[in-house]
Amino acid sequence: MSFLPDARDAIVHIQDSSLTAVSGDQNNHNNAGGSTTITGPQHFAGDQNIYQAAPLTGTALPLFLLSFLTNSVGKDLLHRHTSPAALLDSRARRDPPRCMEGTREAIIQEILDWLKKVTKSSSILWLRGPAGHGKTALEFTIAEICKREGLLIGSFFFSNRIANCSDGTLLFTTLAAQLMQAFPSTARYIDKAIRHDPHIFDKALETQMKALIVEPIKRISTMVRVIDTVTFGLKSYPTLIVIDGLDECVGIDVQDEIIRIIGDLVQNLRLPLRFLIASRPEPNLCEAFEKLQSQLPKDSLSTLVLTEDALTRRDIQIYLERKFKELRARHSYLPVEWPGPDIILRLVDKASGQFVYATTIIIYISSPDDRPDDRLNIILKLLETPVGDTPYAPLDQLYSHIVHAVKHRTQVLQILGQLILAKEMPNEQDILGSPSNSTATSRIEVILGLRDGDARRLLNRMHSLIDVGDDLKLLHASFPDFLQDTSRSMGFVVNLAEAREMLGLAYIRAICNPSRMCFFFTALGLGSDLMSLVAIFFGSEQARTSKPDVSLMASAIQYCTAFGLSERLSNELRTTNIIASYELYVRAAPWKRHPATLVLNEISNLLIVRIFHS
């Protein structure tokens, strides 16, 4: 509750630190006594009534009363509901990421061109990219450039690692506080809005945005347009608002609401504002921006996607070369050619477009307590990692935050296991009907016994690490290392032995398919009577017309035998019709004299001896 709730548009005159007069549309107060003493003339002029104060002396005007009477109470309340740690120059962010000079030049220029083409560019630019691709460094660099050039209105850097920086309810109040600095003439309107509604901070984000940003900007937009006309557009004024890491804002519903509100804002303002928003390509954000795109006028929303392209690889290479040069300058014992172009390219490959990987390993290698060449060898796995050492700490923190947020951990780990396993498989067609190294979503679902669409659903919160589409692709070459190291992944570990077993089970299920079984019998040249018997046994009309494909079965069986049949695989075989099929086959044919025994010999010890005689 404000101190003078009936005051309206008060104008305060202070002379020699003394309150001399207060005028306003309505002042209706009476103070006949008390501890408050006001020096100077004892009248406050207003359109209605006079504020009567007892002529007491010797006591200073209370600070909170002076704050109210000088039109700053609203601003004071506003600052209590902001997040200073989310600002561009906050001291809470130690050594903030910046783009090294000479890197990311093309994309920085593309963003600046978008910003400065006021009448021909979109109002919103969504900078989208996987985790670790340098979005924050780009946003920070752009914000600093624009601040120097007087183009920045404000910024908000979301972060789940800094207090109050993941709270989306503080976004518009924090931007409003910066708006008052960028356009001082908005201060009186923002202050007035808060004084008229002190509970504005507890209201919906859309209400806050309209009261604290839209209306104040509307009040000053005419003046800004006049200046723009008089100066023929040569005088620039702030237009850019930077929002980074929207995916780190707590609450998917809050993220979506922020996008919708910003869309409404750019449609309701005549002053051309520009919003640069960066985030990972999370499904809810993709959907929210797509919906906004359909609602906004044409060309109001643009998207800039960060990927691993030639320019990104070049920039990472430049970064590594400069940092290694700095290390050689500090350590004279390092050879002039260290570490060599081959090693640098190897590290660039490992980065997979991730600047966070490059900066992480450089931080580790640059430790003042160790030799850089020894630490590089640890990164290259030429030396064992010392006990207690954490070479990839920042990268592990990034990965851990993402993977530990998934809901269906067991099934997600199984999918990840198949993606890693596919990298060691040959590019040859197998019994599942696709190349062994394929990561097609449909193939992964068959291997794991999932229903159509399950893989996409299970990976819903992993889009910043996995490209989820018709094919599943790991976006970072360093991610599998994290998943297979228990000391790094904190329990979120892929078991490759289990992944091989799951693939083996899928192969066995494929072999046990009725039509697949008939491939065997057809290849063995068995008579049509036996084929009919098998068809009846399995109830499969397809068995009569299926074409033999023994080679695919052979490769599947060889895969299973190469790693050995676990108890789980044996149990799977015990419960399928394949046992009865082989019994039927053994009784009916002189199979040891047939050329196709090359296939059956692969499984005779495992199936006939191990299962039938167990």
Residue with the larger pLDDT of the pair 587 and 321: 321
What is residue 218's predicted lDDT score, i.e. its pLDDT?
87
- From first CA to last CA, the distance across the chain in angstroms is 84
Number of Cβ within 10 Å of residue 376's Cβ equals: 22
Length of the chain: 614
Q: What is the pLDDT of residue 450?
A: 94
| CB-facing half-sphere around the CA of 493: CA atoms within 13 A | 11
Which CA distances in Å does 502 have to 162, 414, 416?
41, 8, 12
Q: Any idea what DSSP says for residue 471?
A: B
612 or 266, greater pLDDT? 266
**Which structure tokens are listed for 4?**
């003078």
Separation of CA 113 from chain center: 25
Q: Give the residue extent of every domain in the chain.
A: 11-70, 84-305, 310-388, 397-494, 504-612
Query: Which of 65-74, 197-206, 229-238, 492-501 is least confident?
Result: 65-74
The per-residue pLDDT for 567 is 54
Report the CATH architecture of 397-494. Answer: Orthogonal Bundle (1.10)
State how far the Cα of 52 lies from the Cα of 44, in Å rounded to an integer: 8
Other residues' Cβ atoms within 10 Å of the Cβ of residue 433: 14
Whole-number pLDDT of residue 467: 92
The per-residue pLDDT for 434 is: 86
How far from chain centre, in Å, is Cα 98?
18
Average pLDDT, the chain: 77
Instruction: Tell me what pLDDT residue 1 has.
Output: 37
Report how far residue 427's alpha carbon sits from residue 304's, in angstroms, rounded to the nearest whole number: 34
Q: Are 378 and 385 in contact (CB under 8 A)?
A: yes
CA distance linking residue 29 with residue 304, whole number of Å: 57
Residue 7 has pLDDT above 60, yes or no: no
Nearest to 347, CA basis, from 371, 324, 370: 324
Most confident by average pLDDT, 28-37, 48-57, 414-423 = 414-423
- Using CA atoms, how far residue 347 sits from 67, 100, 130, 576, in Å, is 58, 18, 19, 48
Please give the pLDDT value at position 77: 86
124-128 and 301-305 strand pairing: parallel
pLDDT at 491: 86
Where b means 16+ CB within 10 Å and e means fewer, 319-352 reads bbeebbeebbeeeeebeeebbeeeeeeebbebbb
| pLDDT over threshold 90, residue 27 | no
- Per-position b or e across 219-252, b if 16+ CB within 10 A of its CB: bbeeebeeebeeeeeeeeebbbbbbbbbbbbeee
36 vs 492, higher pLDDT:
492
Crossing angle of helices 528-538 and 578-588, rounded to 10°:
160
Q: Is the CATH number of domain 84-305 3.40.50.300? A: yes
pLDDT value of position 501: 81
Provide the token pair at 90.
């906050």
pLDDT tens digit sequence for 498-552: 888 888 778 777 766 655 554 444 444 443 443 443 443 333 444 444 444 445 5
Sign of the CA dihedral with 258 first, then 261, 267, and 268 last: negative
Highest mean pLDDT: which range of 11-15, 263-267, 337-341, 597-601: 337-341
pLDDT of residue 235: 57
Residues 542-581 have pLDDT tens digits of: 444 444 444 555 566 556 555 554 555 555 555 554 444 4
Q: What is the pLDDT of residues 211-250, one digit of tens each?
A: 999 999 988 877 665 555 545 455 578 999 999 999 999 9
pLDDT at 14 over 50: no
pLDDT digits (tens, 9 = 90+) for 331-377: 999 999 999 999 999 999 999 999 999 999 999 999 998 999 999 99
DSSP designation for 605: I
Q: Measured in whole angstroms, how far is the alpha carbon of residue 397 from the centre of its chain?
A: 13
9: closest CA among 37, 39, 47? Answer: 47
More confident residue, 414 or 557: 414
pTM confidence score: 0.72
Q: What does the DSSP 8-state code read for residue 21?
A: E
Nearest CA-CA partner of 278 in 411, 155, 360, 424:
155
Alpha-carbon dihedral 277, 282, 287, 292, rounded to 10 degrees: 0
Q: In this predicted structure, what is the pLDDT of residue 591?
A: 38
Q: Given this model, what pLDDT does residue 552 score? A: 58
Q: What is the pLDDT of residues 38-57, one digit of tens each?
A: 333 333 333 333 333 333 33
Q: Distance between CA atoms of 516 and 519, rounded to whole angstroms?
A: 5
Tell me, what's the pLDDT at 227? 53
Cis ω for the linkage preceding 339 (within 30 of 0): yes
Residue with tokens 């892929």: 494
Give, for 14, the enclosing helix (H) or strand (E): strand 11-15
Three-point CA angle 89, 90, 95, nearest 5°: 80
Point out the least confidently predicted range of 1-5, 85-89, 92-96, 321-325: 1-5
Q: Would you call 562 exposed, middle or buried from its count of C-beta atoms within 10 A (0-12, 13-18, 19+)?
A: exposed
d(CA 178, CA 251): 24
Q: Which amino acid is at 495?
A: N
Q: Radius of gyration over alpha carbons of the chain, in Å?
A: 35
Amino acid letter, 484? Q
